[in-house]
Chains A and B, each alone.
Chain A
Amino acid sequence: MTTTQILNPPLSPPSGSNTRNRRWRVRRHANTLLFHSSSIVISAFWFFPIALVILTSFRSLSDIFQNGVGSIPGSGLVITNYADAWTEAGMFQAMMNSFIITIPVVLLSLGLSSFAAFALSRYRLKFRRTLLLVMLAGNLLPVQLMLIPYVRIAEGLGIFDMFVTVIAVQTALGLGFYTFVLYGFMRAIPFELQDAASIDGAGPLRIFFQIVLPLCRPALAALGALAFTWIFNDLLMSITLLRTDDKFPVTAAVVSLQGEFSAQWNLIAAATVIAAIPCVIVFLIFQRSFIGGLALGAVK
């Protein structure tokens, strides 16, 4: 059983006699077995801490104090933590806030970045590589450098403690990187497609929306999922730019549950699981669109 067959299972059985087909089928089953067993081992290692988090969210507080955080639960498990987190700990409100912030940011930053990447990759603009590098350099800046300036600027403009500020800042912060990634993908698209369209009289925007953007779907899907996760799980920007607790997104709300000397870890774990669900759903949706690949074959 070579690694060949694990990584690249042949798409169709080789033609030939019956005996060869049978051997191939056996090989294929063994291949599948090996794939799944190695994948399960890897997944088990990865899932283990998450499983502990979920376990913690079903414990009672005195059980945690009695037996410790990472231990086997002693007394019975409870399911009240989720309801408590949703209502009393304000996770519902926090979830809404997270969506209010994340969705516009993802749409805006990916939208603007794809425009910029398109312009930079498909047209011979002067200084385009410098421009791209400068935009990427914006992401190399440690965000902590800009925290205080953000606060002062926001206060000066009178937009402190508002959602628009967080949305604006997060959008700006993502642009360089997303442009860079999309540039890489868009560059790979053969120019024949574009030339064909412009000979037909299509302007840049038509080319963008009808040719380039659809071809970038895997990249956009990947970036969309990553961007959603990144923004949804951001903590620093929201606690710096927001002050009122009913505007806090889930990350800040979960952190607010921690006291100075003690924390209701079961409640916090439940809140964390709730907070993770949107991102998991987003990821599941987008990872399915990795299927189908590119229409690069369309050139042929």
Chain B
Amino acid sequence: MTLRKRRFTLGTGLLAAVSLSLTGCLGTGGSSVTAPVEDADGPLTLQSRLADGDEAALQTVIETFNSQGGGQVELNTVNNETFRAQLPSYLTSSNPPDVYTYYGGANLRDLADEGLLLDISDVWKDAPFSDGLRALSQDSSGNEVFVPTSYYWLGVYYKKSVWEASGAEVPTTWDEFLAANKALEANGVVPIGIGVSDAPWLASAWFDYLNLRVNGPQFHIDLLAGEDSFDSPEVKAVFDKWDEIQPYFDTSASGLSFSQAVTDFTQGRTGMFLAGSWLQFNLPAEELDDYDYFQFPIIDDSVPLGEEAPTDGFMASARTDQPNLAKEFLAYLASPEAQKVMYEANGSGTLIPANPNTETDLAPAASKGQAILEKADGLTQFFNRDSSDALQATADQALTQFLVKSKATPLILSEWEAEAEKVRAAE
């Protein structure tokens, strides 16, 4: 029990120190804590939800950090869903993992507002990140709690050979988009591929982009934050626009799994797939050159251009017993060197390093994505990252119903708003 007491004592002591308010001895344990900002011994635990290439990249950058002799970091990888479910348990634990992979946005803010995340404003003091990234990494009082390391883009992916065969042309405006759909359909290709039986959130990509294009990024953010309602006329306008392309969606979408939908796409049965750059992992390696993506077409030139740029990075627990090492590690991850290592170790070219000073040659797809995102007037993350998992669940319901037209749109929207109200009330 002494160890527990000592850790508990250290934990409270360091917590106080982090808020810059305490000096001198604390605690009743048998420990010798004189300087309150002293780290405990042992390796820093990094709890990660990344797999495959991302995990390999993380391992490489950790090895580099460890070899620098500043401290040791140990990686713990768990399944993504496990991580999501266990995160509150991790953060409220008396002996939490020190550092975590995570993403920026509303979820981060919620965790930070509960006081569970380490304030790392001093890491951010000289960081060259843009204001947008800074805003994403802060809690509600403006303190930074997160270090972004990469972000990615969403685009409408298509298979060049299929489009050539159908005589479809890459669109930039809405009318061109409709024309491309018609051409694909005439050629016997299902224009828009999607599979929602086990991945209903794919439909949210369409909702997000249509909302961004019709109403602009500010409305989208406000809507997801609860300041607007889902049965408002603006949202109705989004679905009216969606109705124009709804006939082009795969009619078997509700019974189609994500992997099957991707297979249909790679085999040319469907013509396009709105997804993040992570779609490239699921494409056959030999054929990769046949695939490309285009920016979601512009509907209204007068509406500010919003783009989705989900941002991933790292955060630390407020209860860590090694805050100094944690900050050191996070600072290292934010550095251009580390981001270069991660980008190259990942090797897929689907992530853009967050630090603008990173010296690395981006893959063509990534440079294209970066260019698109730099021109945007506003950046959002994705439905669940901008709101919460609970609200995402309501969107899954509503959007699947819309895709299969199980009810009239106004009814779907009013039910969606009712569900969203319940979610907001529960928070």
Pick from A1-9, A253-261, A292-300 the stretch touching chain B: A253-261
A260 contact from B3, B267, B278, B284, Cβ within 8 A: B278
- In the assembled complex, which residues on chain B have CB atoms less than 8 Å from the CB atom of A258? 51, 79-81
Could you tell me the distance in whole angstroms from the C-beta of A86 to the nearest C-beta in chain B? 17
Could you tell me the distance in whole angstroms from the C-beta of A151 to the nearest C-beta in chain B? 6
B82 and A245 contact, CB distance less than 8 A: no
Whether A67 sits at the interface, judged by CB under 8 Å, is yes
Could you tell me the distance in whole angstroms from the C-beta of B97 to the nearest C-beta in chain A? 7
B79 and A155 contact, CB distance less than 8 A: no
Q: Whole-angstrom distance between the alpha carbons of A300 and B368 in the complex?
A: 87
A65 and B284 contact, CB distance less than 8 A: yes
Q: Which residue of A lies closest to B82 (CB)?
A: A239
Q: Whole-angstrom distance between the alpha carbons of A151 and B51 in the complex?
A: 25
Q: Whole-angstrom distance between the alpha carbons of A263 and B47 in the complex?
A: 19
- In the assembled complex, which residues on chain A have CB atoms less than 8 Å from the CB atom of B94? 155
Q: Which residue of B lies closest to A254 (CB)?
A: B79
Q: Whole-angstrom distance between the alpha carbons of A49 and B259 in the complex?
A: 18
Could you tell me the distance in whole angstroms from the C-beta of A228 to the nearest C-beta in chain B? 24
- In the assembled complex, which residues on chain A have CB atoms less than 8 Å from the CB atom of B79? 239, 252, 255-256, 258
Could you tell me the distance in whole angstroms from the C-beta of B149 to the nearest C-beta in chain A? 16
Q: Which residue of B lies closest to A69 (CB)?
A: B259
State whether A66 and B284 are in contact (beta carbons under 8 Å apart), knowing that A151-B89, A158-B4, A239-B86 are contacts in the complex: yes
Those of A222-259 within 8 Å (CB) of chain B: 239-240, 243-245, 248, 252, 255-259
- In the assembled complex, which residues on chain A have CB atoms less than 8 Å from the CB atom of B80? 258-260
A256 and B77 contact, CB distance less than 8 A: yes
Interface residue tally on A, bucketed by range:
20 to 34
Q: Whole-angstrom distance between the alpha carbons of A264 and B81 in the complex?
A: 16
Whether B1 sits at the interface, judged by CB under 8 Å, is yes
Whether B282 sits at the interface, judged by CB under 8 Å, is yes
B89 and A255 contact, CB distance less than 8 A: no
Q: Whole-angstrom distance between the alpha carbons of A256 and B79 in the complex?
A: 4
- In the assembled complex, which residues on chain A have CB atoms less than 8 Å from the CB atom of B76? 243-245
A69 and B284 contact, CB distance less than 8 A: no
Whether A87 sits at the interface, judged by CB under 8 Å, is no
Q: Whole-angstrom distance between the alpha carbons of A274 and B379 in the complex?
A: 45
- In the assembled complex, which residues on chain B have CB atoms less than 8 Å from the CB atom of A265? 259
Q: Whole-angstrom distance between the alpha carbons of A258 and B95 in the complex?
A: 27
Q: Which 5 A-B pairs have the closest CB atoms?
A: A259-B51, A68-B263, A261-B278, A262-B281, A260-B80
20 contacts between A and B (CB under 8 A): A61-B285, A67-B263, A68-B260, A68-B267, A69-B259, A69-B263, A71-B263, A151-B93, A240-B89, A243-B76, A243-B86, A245-B78, A252-B79, A252-B82, A256-B78, A257-B51, A259-B50, A260-B49, A260-B51, A261-B282
